[in-house]
Each structure stands twice: as C-alpha cells, then as structure tokens.
Structure 1
Amino acid sequence: MRIITCLRNLILGLTLVTTGFIPVAMAEAPMAKKQVPGYYRMMHGQFEVTVLFDGAFDVGISLMSNATQTELQQLLARNYIDGDKVQTATNVYLINTGKNLVLIDVGCGTLFGPKMGKIMDNLKAAGYAPEQVDTILLTHMHPDHVGGLVDANGNMLFPNAKVYANQVESDFWLSDKNAGEAKNDQMKNAFKNAKASTAPYRAAKKWHTFQHKDEVVPGIRAVSTAGHTPGHTMFRIKSDEQRFFILGDLVISHTVQFTRPDVTLAFDINPEQSVITRYKVFNLAAKYKWMVAGAHLPYPGIGQIRSNGDGTYGWIPVQMVPE
C-alpha cells in the first residue's frame, strides 16, 4: 500500500510539472566565457610530460603545393571544414626528467597576435615557474617556435635556461648573408625574429648548439628531420626503454598531410626533402607503433600514426587517462 501511494504521488507530481501548474525553479548562473587552462599531463617511463597550449592560427590551402585546390578543398570537406583554411594548434612540450626541466620549443610569444602566446599562463597553470626551466631545446627557429623566448621588450622570459638549437639551423637563421638574400617579406621577418628572440640568450652566453644524434639532455636525443628547415630536428625521449618522439613541424596540417604526405607548405625551405622525411618518419612510426607528438597536431598533439597500406596514413590521438 505504501509503495502504491508513493507511485501515485510521483505520477501526480510529474503531471503537475509537465502541465505547468507548478513553476519549475531554474538555477541561473553567469556564463564563464573562459576556456580551461591549456595543459595536458602524462607519464613517459620516469619522465613527466606536460603539453602546453600556445594557441591556434589558420593555415590556408593557398599555401599548400603538390595538390590542386580542388583536391585540397575535398580533403577539408571530408573533415567538415567549410572554407579554405584549417585551424592549426601550436603545442609546446615540457619534460621533467627528475634532473632537468626541459622545454621543447617555446611558442610564438607576442608575434602572432592575441590568439597565440599562451605559454607563460599555461606553464604557471601547470604548476611551474619560468625560472625553473633549465634547458630549452628548439626543433627549429621559425617564429612560432622561438618567439616565446622573450617578452614584448626583448627581455629573457627564461633567465635560468640554456637554449639549444641544431648547429646547421643556428648557422642558417643567424646569418646576415642569408637574411640579406631573403626573397619575400615572410622570410625576411623570419630571419629578423630569429635574431631578436635569441639575442639576449646569445649575449648572456646561454645560446648553445648541438649535432644531430647528440644526447643533448640525458634521455633526450636529437634526430635529423631536415627539410622543413635546414636543421629541423625531432627529439627522441627515452625512459625505462620507452620511446616517445617529438616531431616538431613534420606535420603542419593533419587534415591534409596524413592523407597526402606529399603536400608541402610555403613555410618549407626544402619542400622535396620535407616530403622524403615525412614519409620516412611516418613509415617508421607506423611500423614500430611509436608514440609521437607534433607542434601543430590537434591539442594535445600526442598520439600514434597508422598506415592505411595505400600510401595514406591516419592519426590516432591519445586518450585522457586517470592519474
């Protein structure tokens, strides 16, 4: 009898609510209008890896070569992109080895406008201070990878860090001769920003170079992936026999370049070599099921590359896991 009464009361209550006889209280809360902090954390062996989100910018298909604009538009449409531009994330990787706190690239700083340059805020949100970073490794010296070394006034943002770039890369971007031979404004600005962003570290003798195959920090080895730039580098992170590869700009547009690895961009210094390098790394990553991370893959940019067996590839993003 008691159960029947409870059911009757429940039905009556639902009827009154749905017919509008009883006003339903709705909680009113202001919209936050703010995104969550941009950091993602995982363990790799004994190393802690934290991805810091620098922001995002658009890349137009007009900057892409080796495919027709119609073919590129079809690739975008397959990914439900309406238009001729692809949003491209910029990710920076913080590696805590237990002995060193290493940043791999530093984002663009103030160079690309208000939608970019979020590294410092996200570094602090992740529980670290810029003064704790002791080593910075650069995959290459394009503005969106070195601009975050300094503030708007050209002062060092990482006062206790030594900064490392590949010798070939450093020689190329810091050459007055090369800067004077730049053929367009984009390249002229790239040379200008490379010099300005690195200047205080060079003046303080905190600027260093490495050779490919060097173990720059214990557990972190430089691997040549030249093409995008002359000394472009990916880094192999090894701990407890686990291997993790940070690819830099090997992929700039995941929407296009996994299906069409032969597509190059206007930012590539040696387009033909960039294609050769991309196929080589894709094949190895798929064969050995490497965990990889990209500077411009969808945040947090970590995952694996799958071969489809027909010269095309797929991207398998990492999944969030509990602590």
Structure 2
Amino acid sequence: MPPLPTEQVPGLHHLRVGEIVVTAVSDGFLNASNAVLQNIAPEEIDRLLTESFRPTPRRTSVNTFLIRAGGRAALVDTGCGGSLQASAGKMLGNLAAAGVAPGEIDTVLLTHLHPDHSNALADASGQAIFPGATLGMHAAELAYWEDDGAASRAGASGQGVPYFAAARTQVAPYRDRLALFADGAEIFPGVTAVHLPGHTPGHCGYLIASGEDSLLIWGDIVHVPEVQVARPEVTMQFDVDPAQAAETRRRVFDRVAADRQRFVGMHVHFPGCARLAKDAQGYRLVPEARDLAF
C-alpha cells in the first residue's frame, strides 16, 4: 500500500478574471470563541453553526489572494504570521508551493491592519518579509492605527492597545514605500480600491476587472458565513463601528446579489469564492464550483 499522507496538499486555488489570474492562498484557520459575535443569542449561534455542520465554537478560515497581472504580482493580505495559532500562518508555505518567492511580490495590498491580515508583513526581527514590495492601504486605515487617542479608546472594541502596537510594528519596515489611496483608485493593473468602512475606518475591498469579467475581494464583510449571511445585523466585537459595519455588509450584500457578482472573502471557507443569492427568506451564500480549466 502506498504510504499514508501526513499533510494536506498545498492550499491553493486559481481563478481567472479575464487576462488576470487570482490565486487563493490559504493561511490556514483559527479556532475562536463565539462570544465576540454581537446582536445574537449564543444558542442561535450554536444552532446556525450546527445546522451547517460546522464546529461550535466557530472555526474561521483565513485566506489571502495572489494577483498576477501585466507581468506583476500583488498579494492581498498576508495572514497571521507565526504569532497566533499553529493552525494558521501557512501563507508563506503555500505561496512557495505556488512557485512564488516573497521577493517576487512587488505590491502588498491590505484590506485592513488586524493581525490575522497583516502579521506576516515583517518577521520576528522586524525585517520586511516582502523586501521589494510597496505596501498599499486606504489612507484612513493607516491614520486610525497611528492615532494614539484611538489606541487609548480601543479597549471597548476588543482590539486593545496590543493591536495598535502590532500594526505599527508590521508597517515599520515599509515606511519608505507606502502607497496610501482613496476609494475608487486603481492601485494595481485592473484592480480598483473599494472602501468598505465599519469593521475598521479604512477597511477596503478590491474590485478586479478584465474584459467582461470581474471579481470582488470583499475583505471581512463576513467573519462567520453561516451566521452573518443569514443574519447580517450580527456584528463582531472587533468592529470599530459596529453599526457602520452592519450597514456596509447589507449594502455589499445587496450589490453582489443584484449584480450576480462573483466575490472572494478572507473568512469565507477556503478557497473563499462564492456568489450571493437573495430570496424571500434573505440571503444564501453559494460556493463556486471548482473549475479545473480556470
């Protein structure tokens, strides 16, 4: 009998958007408490997860996305690095399995500066992991994490001062190559910034378009799909502005459902690509079927 496998195949999934290739690069997953979900009873969380055959407390996928366009390579988010759980921090290994070295990434785009999205910008010694990359994010995002007053107020949001310290540490080696942008800016070939505030002030998605095709990277519009797709009013303790986060989620849901827009999410179960359907009962997330001829 052939030897039994000791690990999964690399966490990679390729998507074609016209002439652009987007690769979902898994960073693994995080096991986390349900207590950070707000505006919903604990037993209702358990019911929704159990009915969807998901563990409770929740398990959250962490995804990053590699964009190859015009002879260039961009990475959207960097995942957890080595500072969170052993089940996460897999992005660099999976990127290597895709045949891409960190030095070949010329642009890193952040949806926002939470540690599960930015902690692999720098290594334990504070050196840039992507030595040739420009670091791009919405201008409001960097302003928030550099605001000492916001740091002192952050305890109520569940982020706390350590989140601010981590964000500043990760950004530090890229200070001389920051690219701050506003909503609607084209920040990479075929990639336009879409400001989606609430989760953080500068939380940003990215619309990738080529020819007649498009793909929306919607960032953290949902953290727990089984709960927040059915109940979009459910917010997270980590939302800086929960009311705005819920309003943004509803607006994005309406848009992608009406436009039949294909999207990927950082916390939609890997590979994270889906569409959203709307009916009399609300919204349904429909995962995209795997296409080997991408």
Normalised by the size of structure 2, how large is the TM-score? Answer: 0.95
List aligned pairs for 1:94-243, cutoff 5 A: 94-183=66-155, 186-202=159-175, 205-243=176-214
Report the secondary structure of 2:155's partner residue: coil
Alignment of 1:276-291 (within 5 A): 276-291=247-262
Tell me which structure has the larger Cα radius of gyration.
1
* Aligned equivalent of 1:292, options 259, 263, 269: 263
Matches within 5 A, 1:17-166: 27=1, 29-81=2-54, 84-166=56-138
Structure 2 residue matching 1:57: 3-state secondary structure: strand
Q: Which has the higher contact order (CA 8 A, sep 6+)?
A: 2
Shift of 1:287: 0.8
**Secondary structure at 1:106's aligned position in 2?**
coil
Deviations 1:83-107 (A, max 9, x none): x311110000100012321111111
Once residues 59 and 291 of structure 1 are traced to their aligned partners in structure 2, the CA distance between those partners, rounded to angstroms, is 28
Question: What residue in structure 2 maps to residue 13 of structure 1?
Answer: none
- Residue 318 (structure 1) aligned to one of 265, 288, 292: 288
Cα distance in 1 between the residues matched to 2:23 and 2:111: 17
What are the ranges of 5 or more consecutive residues in structure 2 without an aligned counterpart? Answer: none
Q: Give deviations 1:19-49, integer Å, cap 9, x for gaps.
A: xxxxxxxx3x432221111111121100011
Aligned residues: 292
* Cα deviation, residue 114, structure 1: 1.8
Following the alignment from structure 1 to structure 2, what is the Cα–Cα distance between the partners of residues 297 and 236?
A: 17
Residues 170-226 of structure 1 show CA distances to partners (whole Å, capped at 9, x for unaligned) of 100122332233326742121011001111111xx0122111111111311111110
The letter for the 1-side match of 2:284 is G
Deviation at 1:285, TM superposition (A): 0.5
1:266 offset after TM fit, Å?
0.7
**Secondary structure of 1:216's match?**
strand
Q: CA deviation at 1:115?
A: 1.3
Cα distance in structure 2, aligned partners of 1:189 and 1:56: 21
